[in-house]
Amino acid sequence: MDNALFDDLPPSQVIHTLAGTEHTLATEVPLAITLNGVNHAVMMVSPCQLEAFVTGFLLTEGIIAHHRDIHDLEFSREQDAIITHVTLANRCHQPWLQQKRSLAGRSGCGLCGLESLQAALPDLPVLPITALPDTELLTGLRAQLPEWQVLNRNCGALHGAFFVDHQGQIRHASEDVGRHNALDKLLGWQHHQPVRPEGMILMTSRCSIELVQKMVRSHNPTLLTLSAPTRLAVEQARHYRLNLIHLPYQQAPRVYAASAHSC
């Protein structure tokens, strides 16, 4: 990717309020994704880690199974918008065309634009049974966050997704104005590693059903969140054998779904 394309689109920028004081605000830009020349979706994103985002997005949409299914990936600009030109493998392109759906306006709940209930609640393979992490390892995660939330530290308006190893150490972070985007960026990074890292994923946001589905599609067995999950997210996590753990600010971790106890 030619980083010069985005020199004028930093993830955060300083602006002046009407009172004349300076404040740093997050940048949000439209990113259009085209697949083999066909428009697929327009997402509002923070203009950073975009290659990882596109890979993670296509993975969690079920369009590709591996980053090698992307034969080419190029970016271009149209004023303040970014265009992503993706060349898919034929084995992915044809199934996608048959199941093509409109994703226009997808930025709020994450399910807007879906054409059927089946698309909103897909029947995915359940995860293998995975042991819960030692809760002692989770108590120190919040203290590690400021070091990794570089963009959020400047403007306070970005979600974070973090890869946590089995020793309870954060190893990578992705940030974005959208919580779904932050997770897609992290999953794209994970998928591009020479040896896929295994561990847990931590999200700063609440856990909704879309995050559960992204975890299942990417074969990640344990999700930690700093905010409480929704009821439907818990039901789906139990169904798919996803370990779902909430880390309250001043209380012990709360296990809402455990792989070994899922139906």
pLDDT at 135: 86
Q: Which residues pair with 140 in a beta bridge?
A: none
Phi, psi of 232 (to 5 degrees): -65, -35
Domain coverage including residue 248: 135-261
Select which of 109, 112, 155, 263 is catalytic. 109
Query: What pLDDT digit, counting tens, does each position of 40-85 carry?
Result: 999 999 999 999 999 999 999 999 999 999 999 999 999 889 999 9
**pLDDT at residue 86 above 70?**
yes
pLDDT cut 90: percent of the chain above it? 67
Q: Structural domain tally of the chain?
A: 2
**Same domain? 78 vs 172:** no
The more confident residue out of 100 and 219 is: 219
Q: Would 116 be classed as within a structural domain?
A: no
The CA distance from 53 to 71, in Å, is: 16
Query: What pLDDT digit, counting tens, does each position of 3-47 carry?
Result: 556 667 777 777 766 777 887 888 899 999 999 999 999 999 999
109 is known as an active-site residue: yes
Give the model's confidence band at 205: pLDDT under 50 very low, under 70 low, under 90 confident, else very high.
confident
CATH code assigned at 81: 3.10.20.10
**Same domain? 79 vs 177:** no
